[in-house]
Amino acid sequence: MEEGQGQKQNEEISKLLKIGMSQDAYQRLMNVKAADPKIYEASLKYIIYYIQKGQKIEEGSLQKILATVSSSLRKEMNIKFLHK
């Protein structure tokens, strides 16, 4: 039952993205999804927010969102070695 709901939600997200994004931006996002699902998932919140506010996501806007998200994810994964 849950798999059906998850797939339906994914289809709805996909429709929303196709409507609210330029074709180039959508294609780039799908490439990101294949290459790094964590960045894709984190970026979705921002992208959906802007689309729901009525903004069309173009290539340049998507690149800014991806840069912001990827830099914040890198900060979380920063490992420090302390030498004695």
- Which comes out higher in pLDDT, residue 81 or 78? 81
Mean pLDDT value across the chain: 88
More confident position, 22 or 78: 22
CA distance to 42, 54, 79, 80, 84, per residue, from 33 (Å): 10, 23, 25, 28, 41
What local confidence, expressed as pLDDT, does residue 1 receive?
44
Percentage of residues of the chain with pLDDT beyond 90: 70
Encoded tokens for 35: 């290459």
